[in-house]
Structure 1
Amino acid sequence: MSRKFLIAGNWKMNKTASEAVDLIEEIKSSVGDQTSVQVCVCPPFTSLSQSSESVEKSEVLLGAQDMNAAQSGAYTGEISAEMLRDLYVSFVILGHSERRQFFGETNQIVNQKIHAAIGNNLKPIYCIGETLDEREAGKTLDIVRTQVREGLENFPTHSIENLVIAYEPIWAIGTGKTATDEMAQEVHAEIRKVLAEMFGDTSADSIRILYGGSMKPENAAGLLAQKDVDGGLIGGASLTARAFVGIIEAAQSA
C-alpha cells in the first residue's frame, strides 16, 4: 500500500507569533503548493491563531504540540481539542518524550488524549521510543510494543486512517545522534507488526510511521528509503526553512 510521506515540524518552545508567520511564509514560498508530500507545522499555542491564517490557501497543514483530554473545565493553562479545531488545526502531537519526561505523562494519560483527539476530528501523532539505557539493555522492541498497545488501547478502527505513529529514540532527540537507517527500519517494522496484531494487516499497512530522532537534510534520504519509514517528526531542523524544506525535498525524491 502506498503511504504519502508526512513531514511534520515540531517547533517546541520556540518562535514568537510574528516569527512563526515569517517561517511559515518562507516554507510556503518553496513547498506551499506541492501535494506529493504532506507538510505540517506545529508551532507553540501562542502562535496557532496567526499561523492558522498564514497556512490558509496553501497545502501546508497546521498541528499542535499537545492538548488536554478534557472537553473543557477548570484546568488552568490547558488547551482542549475543541479550541484547536476552532483554529483549523489538523494534527496534534501526543505522548512526546519530553511530555513524558518533564510532565509525567503515562501511556494511559496519552491514551485518553488520543481518544479525545479522534473524537474531535484531530489526527494524533502518537510518539513512542526508548531511552539510551533501555536500548543498551536490549529492551527497545519490548518498550515500543508496550507503548503501542497501551497508548492505542480501544482505538476505533473506523478512524485508523487518521492515526500517525512517530518513533523517536529518546537518546537521539536534540543530541545530533541518529539511529542508523537499519536501526530505524527494524523498530518501524516491529511497530507495524504490533499494529497488524491489533487492527489487522490492511489497517496496519495504512498507518504512517514517522521517524523522530534528529532527522535532517543530510540523513533524510537514507531514512526515508526504508520500507516502513513514512516521513519524519522534525525538531531542530524544522526551525529554519532551508533545513525543513531540504527534508521535504528528500521525501519528494524518495
Structure 2
Amino acid sequence: MTMALLWIGTSWKMNKTLGEGLAYAETLLRALPSVNHRLQPFIAPPFTLLREVKQALSGSAVKVGAQNMHWQDAGAWTGEISPLMLADCGADFVELGHYERRRYFGETNHTVSLKTAAAVRHGIRPLVCVGETLAEREAGRAEDVLREQVSTALRGVGSRAQAVGIMFAYEPIWAIGESGSPADPNYADRQHTLIKRISKEILSTEVSVLYGGSVNMDNSSELINMKNIDGLFIGRSAWDAGDYIDLMGKVSDSIR
C-alpha cells in the first residue's frame, strides 16, 4: 500500500527580496536528495518572487504556491492577484483564509468560499486556513467555529474538488505568531478529525489537514506522528533555508 505524503512547508509571508528567495531555493535544491521521499516540501513566497522561485525549483519535488488571490479572473480590483495570474506563474497551490487576512484585511468565510471555488475552477490546489480564537475555545465553541469555516469554504467547489485535492491547515489563532503557544498534539489531532469529518460530509472524500501554529524543532516530531495530522505548515521556524531543512530532517527521523 502506498503511504500518503506528509506535507511539510512554510509561507514566507512579507519577507525576502528576489535574491534572498532564490538563495533559499538554491540551498533547498542542494538538500533535496537527502529529504525523505515520504515528505512533500512546499513553500509560499510573496507574489513578486513566485514565478522566479517556481522556475528555480522546476523539476524538483518542491511545490510552490501563493499566499492569497482574488476570486475573479480579471477586473477593476486594484492591487489584487487573480487565479489566472497565479496559473500563469505556475503556482501549484494557493493559501487562503489565513487569520492575518481575516483580521487585518476583512476576509470572511464567504470571501474564502469564493476564492476556494475559483482556485478549484482553475486547477490550483487550495490550502484553506481555519482555526478558533482563544475566547471561542474557552467558551466551548471551537467545534461550531470550525464547522462554519470548513462548510462555508467548501460550499461552491463543485465536482472538481477531489481532482484538485483541497487541503486545510488547522491553525488555532491562539497558537500562531510570535506570542503563540502551540496546541497540545492530542487537542490538534481531535480538531483535525473534526475537519476531516465535516469535509467528508460535503465532498464524500477525506481531505488532508496540516497543522500550523508555533511548529518548531521541539514539537514537530510529536505533531507529525498524530494519526490525523497529515503535515505541518510552519512559520518563522522555516524562514531560514537551513532551519527548514533541519526541521524536515527531524520529521523524517521521527515518522513511524
TM-score, normalised by the number of residues in structure 2: 0.93
Give the match's secondary structure for 2:59. Answer: coil
Pick aligned residue for 1:56 from 55, 58, 61: 58
Ranges of 4+ aligned residues in structure 1 off by more than 4 Å: none
> Shift in Å at residue 135 of structure 1?
1.3
Do 2:95 and 2:126's aligned partners in 1 also have CA atoms closer than 8 Å?
yes
Structure 1 position 2, deviation (Å): 4.0
Correspondence for 1:118: 120
Which residue among 36, 44, 47 is the counterpart of 1:45? 47
Q: Which runs of 5+ in 2 are unaligned?
A: none
How far apart are the structure 1 equivalents of 2:101 and 2:111? 11
Aligned pairs, how many?
250
Aligned to 1:168: 171
Contact 1:5 1:231 in 2 (8 A): yes
Q: Find 1:183's aligned residue among 160, 164, 187.
A: 187
Whole-Å Cα distance in 1 between the matches of residues 217 and 180 of structure 2? 13
Q: Distance in 2 between matches of 1:246 and 1:218?
A: 12
User: Structure 1 residues 236 and 32, CA, compared in 2 at 3 Å: closer, same or farther?
Assistant: farther
Flag structure 1 segments of 5+ consecutive residues without an equivalent: none
Contact residue 71 and residue 115 of structure 2 kept, 8 A: yes
* Structure 1 residue 46, shift from structure 2 partner: 1.1
Correspondence 1:9 to 2:44: no
Q: Give the aligned partner of residue 129 of structure 1.
A: 131
Partner of 2:32 in structure 1? 31
Identify if the C-alpha distance between structure 1 residues 33 and 116 changes in structure 2 by more than 3 Å, giving closer, same or farther.
Answer: farther
Partner SS for 1:114: helix
Q: Secondary structure at the match of 1:218?
A: coil
Give the AA of the match of 2:74.
S
Q: Deviations over 1:57-88 (max 9, x none)?
A: 22111110000001011111111111111111
Indicate whether 1:20 and 2:24 are aligned: no
Identity %: 37
Aligned residues: CA RMSD: 1.6
Please report the TM-score for the alignment, with normalisation by the length of structure 1: 0.93
The alpha-carbon deviation at position 247 of structure 1 amounts to 2.8
Shift of 1:244: 1.4
> Is it true that 1:149 corresponds to 2:154 in the alignment?
no
> Is contact 1:111–1:153 with CA below 8 Å preserved after alignment?
yes
Once the 2 structures are TM-superposed, how far is the Cα of residue 215 of structure 1 from its aligned partner?
Answer: 0.9
Letter in 2 for 1:197: E
Counterpart amino acid of 1:238?
A: A
Compare 172-181 and 119-128 and name the one that shifted more: 172-181
Contact kept? 1:33, 1:58, Cα under 8 Å: no
- Distance of aligned partners of 1:56 and 1:32 in 2 relative to their CA distance in 1, 3 Å threshold: farther
Which residue identity lines up with residue 85 of structure 1 in the other structure? A
